[in-house]
Structure 1
Amino acid sequence: MQPNRRFHWGDKDALLTFVAEVSFAHLFAMTPDGPRVAHAPLVVTRAGNLRFHLARANALTAHLDGAAMVASIAGPEAYISPDWYGSADQVPTWNYQTVEAEGRVARLSDDDLVALLDDLSAAHEARLLPKKPWTRAKMTPGRFEAMLPAIVGFELTVETLRGTDKMGQNKTAAEMLGAVAGLEESGQTVVADLMRRHAEAKA
């Protein structure tokens, strides 16, 4: 994570909310063939752990049960031009939010895998425009059960949660607002809004 303490993000509830909102991670673990990474959607449990599923044929799947793993969840990010600050001797940088979750992985039972898939689809169907949400009940009978053996579910018990919220907190409020204007002009409105909140808190 970013070592500058000004960008440290340590609010556990906020970090887990961020993970649930992004709901997609890069998953890193060691295998006998060396380090490997997989990419998967996530569900945050009530206990603050992360559930996910991988294809049975994924290079990580056979090695995850009981293994140590790091999940990296990346959020909004944008390039920051030095010109935007309106002051001399600045350099280019990148502003971003990200969270890392580290811990041990355990394989889910078949029943828990089904629950994970239901939870995952329900969470994302709820984000769509008002409509009757998709559920597996819409599938041809037996089709879901026939597809299920192709994937394996896991739960990462989170032992360490690390966050970076790098939004220019090392700059003055005026410099930050200059960057906000540049971001808005270039269409990076999400990062602009996040950076504005920090600037207003500093002003």
Structure 2
Amino acid sequence: MRHTPHYILDDEVELRRLVRENPWCTIVSATSEHGLVASHYPFLLDEEAEQLTLLSHVGRPDETLHELGDHEVLVIVKGPHGYISPSWYEPGDIIPTWNHVTAHLYGTPQILSDDQNLRVLSRLTDHFEQHVVEPRGLHLDAEYSRRVARGTVGLRLTIDRVDARAKLSQNKPQPVARRIIDELEGDGPYAQSELAREMRRVHDPRDP
């Protein structure tokens, strides 16, 4: 990402929150055979690991396509984002921008055993099913779940380096930032309530 020091996000607590709230991520590999390869999968934090660590799986044959375990990969976590109109700025300011919260996370994946992969798949399912009225889990048919899991490969990714940004109009005066938040919370064509919430965390921590 563009080097913008005043937007750098290096707070691990905030990085963990970003992953928790935005689990659908992009994994990118620079492979020896296929060049750049990108896929999209849900990722969870390994809450038991001290270092920032992600858990996920890929469907076969993505593990060979990405050459997982052979080299570093990039996982892109994309949080709330949206267009910021210069009409929300002071008169005479005509340059628009795009606010966003984005993290690039790098590491070399560890390929999980079949049993470990099944546990990760169960955690993924249980994590998302907890919000439905009648949740279903892989434990309801353990043998069938084990057979289906053979079509996937689990991975654990310990993050070695991070390049993250929270670009949330920190370069604007507070009255302008508040106006942007109001517009994002409104009913206009570029309303984006989740982005407004992120901006409030920066510009008015008392009102998240």
Q: Do Structure 1 and Structure 2 share a fold, with TM-score over 0.5?
A: yes
* Structure with greater contact order relative to length (CA < 8 Å, sep ≥ 6): 1
* Alpha-carbon spacing, 1:136–1:200, altered in 2? closer, same or farther (3 Å): closer
Decide which of 101, 106, 109 is 1:102's aligned counterpart: 106
The residue type paired with residue 27 of structure 1 is I
TM-score, length basis structure 2: 0.87
SS of the residue corresponding to residue 135 of structure 2 reads coil
* Pairing 1:96-135 to 2, within 5 Å after superposition: 96-126=100-130, 128-129=131-132, 131-135=133-137
Give the share of equivalent positions with the same residue, in percent: 26
Give the Cα separation in 1 of the matches to 2:94 and 2:15.
Answer: 30
Which residue in the other structure is 1:7 paired with?
7
Structure 1 residue 149, shift from structure 2 partner: 1.5
1:178 aligns with 2:179: yes
Structure 1 residue 4, shift from structure 2 partner: 1.6
What runs of 5+ residues in structure 1 fail to find an aligned partner?
none
Give the Cα separation in 1 of the matches to 2:200 and 2:44.
Answer: 30
1:22 aligns with 2:26: no
| Segment of structure 1 superposing worse, 69-78 or 54-63 | 54-63
1:192 aligns with 2:173: no
- After TM superposition, the runs of 4+ consecutive aligned structure 1 residues lying more than 6 A away are none
Give the Cα separation in 2 of the matches to 1:124 and 1:2.
Answer: 33
Structure 1 residue 142, shift from structure 2 partner: 2.8
| Segment of structure 1 superposing worse, 116-125 or 58-67 | 58-67
1:87 aligns with 2:88: no
Contact 1:16 1:44 in 2 (8 A): yes
TM-score, length basis structure 1: 0.89
The residue type paired with residue 25 of structure 1 is C
* Pairing 1:38-57 to 2, within 5 Å after superposition: 38-45=39-46, 46-47=48-49, 48-57=52-61
What runs of 5+ residues in structure 2 fail to find an aligned partner?
none
The residue type paired with residue 196 of structure 1 is R
The residue type paired with residue 26 of structure 2 is H
* Alpha-carbon spacing, 1:194–1:21, altered in 2? closer, same or farther (3 Å): closer
Give the Cα separation in 1 of the matches to 2:4 and 2:66.
Answer: 37
Contact 1:2 1:164 in 2 (8 A): no
| Segment of structure 1 superposing worse, 50-59 or 77-86 | 50-59
Decide which of 129, 135, 138 is 1:136's aligned counterpart: 138
The residue type paired with residue 89 of structure 2 is Y
